[in-house]
């Protein structure tokens, strides 16, 4: 009878399980990060759930749909789409020090 | 009409993935998964999307994904559907194939055509960045004429394959065009497709910062220009009936369309376009909208 | 322009098994072709998904399976794919979703599937392919040889060969059990000669369904995409390095995955024997030791090594040679991959000579069975003299006389002590060509 407890038999096909930050801290990809001016931001000003363009258009899903929207800078790649899509120009890309 | 707050908050892709900054495909995938929900199995051929899913051991999605060789996306989806049908689980689980333009229009067209002809109950979504981007910007059947690619350095000669028309000719119950820049429209289309039995096809334009030659921050703007110049009409064909999408409706009026140069000049890949090329684009856009007008009038 | 679609999910093949068409129990002896024997095995093994494309000479397998499904005798999904490449892709996807799958093909169909063969092996999917062997072009040929079978020897599949229709049926049943064993999880290809077996009728005993179900329980897979409780990404890009993410765990590199494949393949020799013996015990039919069959080999000094139809023909040659006093026997190789090097070394240790008849050729070198045997015997102190011949390519009839001539030629050559690597083709008919002049054909060109 063959010994079934061999180490190679635990390795079958290449299978993944989900994790956050699979590519590492992608926030390090850019030194420019978005900063939201809360005095201009529409949901902050109105106190109502509205606009949320920055949440909608973020390809990385690092913006939260909250009042105010929060951006996860650990993973934000600094693409600048949120800045472009904000209808009231409340977001600007600022140089930040990368940890 | 879908509004921002109608879109579920739950994310199905973890941040910190390998997609480029400003990647339209990443946005498309994010919105699509929100529409599809957790009871989904995705199949992906060799493409930029393969890379987004991560390397061995650890992936970035909260839904199961089956990676498959380049030419086999349609067949892979057929296989998953067949197995689910055999187990009686096919009504509960969405099977969605996500391929790039290469894996749909060129090498993948046979398997797609076969899967569709067999009536496989799945969604095939092509995210079209108009070249083989994952391997370094080589031209595909979906590259627009005159565009630079590493295999057409003097601009592509030929035309852009109209996959939506090809799928319409297959007689599928649902065909739609969409774009990353109109995510609410995209969400609605995936929702609709989910609820239809049979093969569904979505062709989604995906502007690509490194491949098309522009700053990542302009991905949404450039996509919007594609629609506003009339180059990329958004529509659906449901059971053979043509329906122009809301976001494209006003462009039936040629005066409302922005001049095509506004779209072309934003991208470095069109730098080599001659006056004649631009004229061809103008004529192309006019022809596309003439046809749309005729279809709407004859419905 | 409007097109009405009539899609109901493509489920026109799903037929509920009614009382009338229930699979009845009890053994049944039937006369059938090799192709139909394979189809019957698929039916009784209760495959869940079949995806196949017709190709001569395998098409009747596909047709028979479609007939079973339409009559409600097989409750499977038959995906009528548009090419063999898609066929194996569908099988891989369906297997990854947790179903028992199989397909059938020949020659160019197998060549077209080639991209997916290492994929199935690397993902450790227990897929069964029935191969009705057929010569590969160019030039076009529909007749049998073993080229297509040997061409895929490096991709990581278990490869078995069959000599008669009962063996095709039995091997298929065993193949499912071998492939799905948790110590194995490898795809298996069962081959049989095109036309010679695929289209020739022989008696085949179909086993009782209940007993078969006992022997072959439902598939317990290591991957099941349809189980949504765990999220899995299957078959991503795998780097050369081991990936360590600390608390989140670690994943092997490509090298480790392939090491596992090779070791499991080596390991599977024991399981092939095990399953063969278990089958013999339960159903009363055995095929040598499951790895090879012998004929009059015990006291033989010379052994003929061959596979499939060549082995069958060799038995006639051996009968004749024995009558003339030659101590000769046969080793008919059944398991080609994994290559049973250890078993063959053990067997050939005491023999003086091996005459190998290859119905295939490793172009640029020599017959595959011939050189693989030579490499297996490397270092053996008393290794037998090995002489290989190429026979029967493209369906060229293998005559008993040709094999006998080959044996005599080998004996003569052995006496000279010269080991020749010049490939000997037996059964050439160049001399039947008009104006054939050996001098002309092999003239040196000097400009």
pLDDT, tens digit, 9 for 90 and up, residues C302-328: 999 999 999 999 999 999 999 999 999
* pLDDT value of position A8: 72
Query: pLDDT band at C368, cuts 50/70/90?
Result: very high
Residues of A in contact with C236 (CB under 8 A): 14, 16
Measured in angstroms, the CA of A1 and the nearest CA of chain B are apart by 32
Indicate which of B86, B91, B193 best probes the interface with C, i.e. most C CBs within 10 Å of its own CB: B86
Chain A hits for C125, CB-CB cut-off 8 Å, are: 13
- Mean pLDDT, range B116-125, rounded to an integer: 96
C335 in the same domain as C218: no
| Chain C residues whose C-beta sits inside 8 Å of any chain A C-beta | 122-125, 182-183, 185, 222-223, 230-236, 238, 245, 248-249, 251-252, 256-257, 259-260, 263-264, 267, 270-271
Lowest mean pLDDT: which of B77-81, B98-102, C6-10?
C6-10
In terms of pLDDT, which residue wins out, C365 or A5? C365
Burial class (CB in 10 A: 0-12, 13-18, 19+), C192: buried
- Could you tell me if C145 and C213 lie in one domain? yes
ipTM at complex level: 0.93
Quick one: pLDDT at residue C17? 35
Q: Which residue of A has its CA nearest to B66?
A: A15
Cis peptide before B206 (omega within 30 of 0): no
Question: What local confidence, expressed as pLDDT, does residue C22 receive?
Answer: 45
β-sheet bridge partners, residue A63: A71
Single residue among C270, C289, C308 that ends a domain in this structure: C289
Q: What residue spans of chain A are helical by DSSP H?
A: 42-46, 53-57, 81-85
Q: What's residue A5's pLDDT?
A: 53
Residue B226 has pLDDT above 90, yes or no: yes
A35-99 placed in CATH 3.30.70: yes
Given strand B58-59, what is the order of strands in its sheet?
Answer: B58-59, A15-18, C233-234, B64-67, B40-44, B94-100, B123-128, B200-205, B174-179, B235-238, B241-244
Chain B CB contacts of C119 below 8 Å = 69
What average pLDDT does chain C have?
91
The answer to whether residues C269 and C371 belong to one domain is no
Q: Are residues C359 and C219 in the same domain?
A: no
Give how far A62 is from chain C: nearest CA, Å: 21
Clarify whether residues C278 and C338 are in a common domain: no
Domain of C297: which CATH number?
A: 3.40.50.920
Can you tell me whether residue C258 is helix, strand or coil? helix
Q: Between chain A and chain C, how many beta carbons pairs sit less than 8 Å apart?
A: 65
User: Could you read off the pLDDT of B2-43 as tens digits, one per residue?
Assistant: 999 999 999 999 999 999 999 999 999 999 999 999 999 999
Looking at residue C2, its pLDDT comes to 36
**Last residue of a domain, which of C266, C289, C312?**
C289
H-run or E-run covering B36: helix B24-36
Distance from C-alpha of A93 to C-alpha of C413, rounded to nearest angstrom = 85
Is residue C2 a part of any domain in this protein? no
Angle at B34 between CA B234 and CA C238, to 5 degrees: 105
Asked whether residue C345 falls in the same domain as residue C412, the answer is yes
* Closest chain B residue to the Cα of C53, Cα to Cα: B114
Domains of chain B: 4-298 (3.40.50.970)
Shortest CA distance to B14 belongs to which of C218, C231, C238? Answer: C231
Mark whether C36 and C160 lie in a shared domain: yes
Please give the pLDDT value at position C289.
93
User: To 10 degrees, what angle do helices B24-36 and B183-194 make?
Assistant: 40
Tell me whether B7 touches chain A (CB under 8 Å). yes
CB contact under 8 A, C234 and A15: yes
C109 Cα distance to chain centroid: 14
Longest CA–CA span in chain A (Å) reads: 75
How many distinct structural domains can be found in chain C? 2
What pLDDT score was predicted for residue C24?
52
The residue segments making up the domain with residue C335 are 292-432
Over the stretch C95-127, which tens digit does the pLDDT of each residue have? 999 999 999 999 999 999 999 999 999 999 999
pLDDT in tens, B171-209: 999 999 999 999 999 999 999 999 999 999 999 999 999
pLDDT value of position C15: 33
Taking a C-beta distance cutoff of 8 angstroms, is the pair C252, C236 a contact?
A: no
- Over its length of 99 residues, how does chain A's per-residue pLDDT go in tens digits? 444 456 777 889 899 999 999 999 999 999 899 999 999 999 999 999 999 999 999 999 999 999 999 999 999 999 999 999 999 999 999 998 755
Non-local CB neighbours of C367 within 8 Å, separated by 6+ positions: C356, C357, C358, C360, C361, C388, C389, C390, C423
Task: Say whether both C111 and C245 belong to one domain.
Answer: yes
Dihedrals φ, ψ of C189, to 5°?
A: -115, 125
Q: Which chains touch B (3 or more CB pairs under 8 A)?
A: A, C
Distance CA B157, CA B112 (A): 25
Question: What confidence score (pLDDT) does residue C3 get?
Answer: 40
Q: What is the pLDDT of residues B56-96, one digit of tens each?
A: 999 999 999 999 999 999 999 999 999 999 999 989 999 99
Chain centroid to Cα C217, Å, comes to: 23
pLDDT, tens digit, 9 for 90 and up, residues C370-413: 999 999 999 998 899 999 999 999 999 999 999 999 999 999 99
**CA of A52 to nearest chain C CA: how many angstroms apart?**
30
The Cβ of residue C178 has, within 10 Å, a number of other Cβ atoms equal to 25
Cβ within 8 Å, pair C251-A2: no
Q: State whether residue C320 sits within 8 Å of chain B by CB.
A: no
What is the reported pLDDT for A2? 44
C84/C133 same-domain check: yes
The chains in contact with chain C, meaning 3 or more Cβ pairs closer than 8 Å, are A, B
Identify whether C70 is part of a domain: yes
Indicate whether C13 pLDDT > 90. Answer: no
- Predicted pLDDT of residue B1: 83
pLDDT of A97 reads 73
**Given A2, A13, A19, which is nearest C267 (Cβ)?**
A2
Average pLDDT of span C70-82: 94
B164, B171 in Cβ contact below 8 A? Answer: no
Average pLDDT, chain B: 95
User: In chain B, whose CA is at the least distance from the CA of C235?
Assistant: B67
Q: For a pLDDT cut of 90, what percent of chain B falls above it?
A: 97
Q: How confident is the model at residue C20 (pLDDT cuts 50, 70, 90)?
A: very low
Query: If you measure CA to CA, which chain C residue comes closest to B296?
Result: C1
Q: Is residue B244 pLDDT above 80, yes or no?
A: yes
C333, part of any domain: yes
C334 and C403 share a domain?
yes
Would the CA dihedral through B27, B31, B37, B42 be positive or negative? negative
Which pLDDT does position C422 carry in this prediction?
73
* Same domain (yes/no): C278, C298: no
Q: Give the pLDDT confidence score for residue C423 in this predicted structure.
A: 84
pLDDT at C21: 39
Q: Look up the pTM and report it.
A: 0.92
- Work out the burial of residue C66: count CB atoms within 10 Å of its CB; fewer than 13 is exposed, 13-18 middle, 19 or more buried: middle
The whole-chain average pLDDT of chain A stands at: 89
Contact at CB, B118 and C77, closer than 8 angstroms: no
Chain A residues near any Cβ of chain C (below 8 Å): 2, 4, 6, 8-9, 11-19
- pLDDT tens per residue, range C168-208: 999 999 999 999 999 999 999 999 999 999 999 999 999 99
Q: Tens digit of pLDDT for each residue in C212-228?
A: 999 999 999 999 999 99
C338 and C265, same structural domain?
no
Mean pLDDT of the region B266-275: 94
């Amino acid at each position: 009878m063959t010994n079934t407890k061999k180490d190679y038999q635990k390795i079958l096909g290449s299978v993944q399980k989900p994790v956050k930050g699979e590519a590492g801290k992608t926030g390090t990809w850019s030194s420019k990060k978005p900063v939201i001016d809360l005095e201009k931001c529409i949901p902050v000003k109105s106190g109502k759930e509205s606009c949320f363009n920055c949440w909608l258009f973020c390809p990385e899903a690092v913006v939260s749909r909250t009042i105010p929207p929060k951006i996860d800078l650990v993973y934000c790649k600094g693409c600048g789409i949120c800045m472009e899509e904000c209808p009231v120009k409340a977001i600007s890309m600022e140089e930040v020090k990368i940890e | 009409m879908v509004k921002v707050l109608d879109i579920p908050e739950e994310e199905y892709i973890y941040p910190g993935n390998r997609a480029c900054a400003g990647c339209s495909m990443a946005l498309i995938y994010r919105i699509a998964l929100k529409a599809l929900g957790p009871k989904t199995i995705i199949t992906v051929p060799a493409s930029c999307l393969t890379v987004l899913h991560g390397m061995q051991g650890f992936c970035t999605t909260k839904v199961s994904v089956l990676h498959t060789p380049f030419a086999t996306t349609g067949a892979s989806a057929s296989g998953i559907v067949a197995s689910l049908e055999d187990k009686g689980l096919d009504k509960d689980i969405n099977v969605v194939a996500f391929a790039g333009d290469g894996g749909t229009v060129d090498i993948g067209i046979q398997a797609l055509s076969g899967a569709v002809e067999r009536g496989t109950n799945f969604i095939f979504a092509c995210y079209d960045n108009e070249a083989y981007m994952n391997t370094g910007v080589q031209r595909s059947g979906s590259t627009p004429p005159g565009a630079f690619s590493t295999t057409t350095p003097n601009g592509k000669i030929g035309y852009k394959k109209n996959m939506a028309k090809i799928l319409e000719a297959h007689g599928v119950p649902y065909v739609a065009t969409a774009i990353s820049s109109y995510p609410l429209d995209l969400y609605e289309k995936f929702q609709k497709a989910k609820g239809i039995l049979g093969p569904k096809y979505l062709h989604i334009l995906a502007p690509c910062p490194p491949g098309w030659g522009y700053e990542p921050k302009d991905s949404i703007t450039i996509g919007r220009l594609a629609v506003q110049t009339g180059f990329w009409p958004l529509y659906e064909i449901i059971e053979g009936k043509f329906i122009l999408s809301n976001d494209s409706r006003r462009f039936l009026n040629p005066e409302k369309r922005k001049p095509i140069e506004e779209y072309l000049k934003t991208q470095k890949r069109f730098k080599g376009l001659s006056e004649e090329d631009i004229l061809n684009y103008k004529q192309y856009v006019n022809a596309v909208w003439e046809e749309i007008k005729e279809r709407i009038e004859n419905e | 322009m409007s097109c009405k679609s009539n899609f109901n999910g493509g489920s026109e093949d799903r037929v509920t098994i009614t009382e009338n068409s229930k699979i009845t129990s009890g053994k049944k002896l039937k006369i059938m072709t090799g192709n139909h024997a394979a189809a019957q095995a698929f039916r009784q093994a209760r495959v869940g998904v079949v995806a196949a494309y017709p190709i001569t000479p395998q098409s009747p397998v596909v047709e028979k399976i479609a007939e079973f499904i339409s009559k409600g005798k097989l409750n499977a999904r038959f995906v009528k794919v548009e090419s063999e490449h898609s066929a194996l892709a569908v099988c891989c996807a369906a297997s990854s979703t947790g179903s028992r799958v199989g397909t059938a093909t020949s020659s160019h169909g197998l060549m077209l599937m080639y991209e997916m063969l290492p994929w199935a092996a690397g993902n450790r999917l227990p897929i069964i392919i029935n191969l009705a062997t057929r010569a590969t072009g160019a030039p076009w040929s529909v007749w049998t040889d073993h080229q297509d079978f040997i061409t895929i020897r490096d991709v990581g599949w278990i490869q078995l060969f069959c000599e008669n229709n009962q063996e095709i049926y039995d091997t298929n049943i065993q193949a499912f059990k071998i492939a799905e064993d948790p110590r194995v999880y490898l795809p298996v290809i069962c081959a049989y000669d095109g036309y010679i077996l695929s289209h020739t009728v022989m008696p085949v005993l179909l086993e009782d369904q209940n007993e078969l179900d006992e022997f072959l329980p439902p598939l317990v897979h290591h991957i099941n995409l349809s189980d949504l409780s765990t999220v899995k990404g299957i078959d991503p890009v795998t780097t050369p390095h081991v990936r360590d993410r600390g608390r989140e765990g670690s994943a092997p590199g490509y090298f480790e995955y392939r090491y596992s494949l090779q070791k499991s393949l080596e390991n599977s020799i024991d399981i092939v024997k095990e399953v063969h013996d278990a089958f013999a015990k339960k159903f009363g039919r055995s095929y040598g030791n499951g790895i090879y069959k012998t004929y009059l080999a015990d006291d033989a000094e010379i052994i003929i090594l061959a596979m499939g139809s060549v082995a069958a023909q060799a038995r006639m040659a051996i009968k004749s040679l024995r009558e003339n006093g030659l101590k000769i026997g046969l080793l008919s190789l059944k398991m080609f991959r994994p290559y049973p090097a250890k078993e063959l070394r053990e067997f050939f240790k005491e023999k003086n000579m091996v005459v190998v008849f290859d119905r295939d050729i490793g172009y640029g070198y020599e017959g595959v069975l011939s050189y693989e045997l030579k490499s297996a015997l490397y270092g053996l102190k008393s290794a037998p003299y090995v002489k290989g011949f190429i026979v029967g390519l493209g369906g060229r009839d293998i005559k008993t006389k040709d094999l006998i001539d080959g044996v005599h030629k080998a004996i003569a050559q052995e006496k000279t002590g010269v080991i020749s690597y010049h490939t000997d083709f037996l059964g050439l008919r160049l001399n039947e060509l008009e104006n054939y002049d050996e001098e002309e054909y092999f003239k040196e060109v000097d400009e």
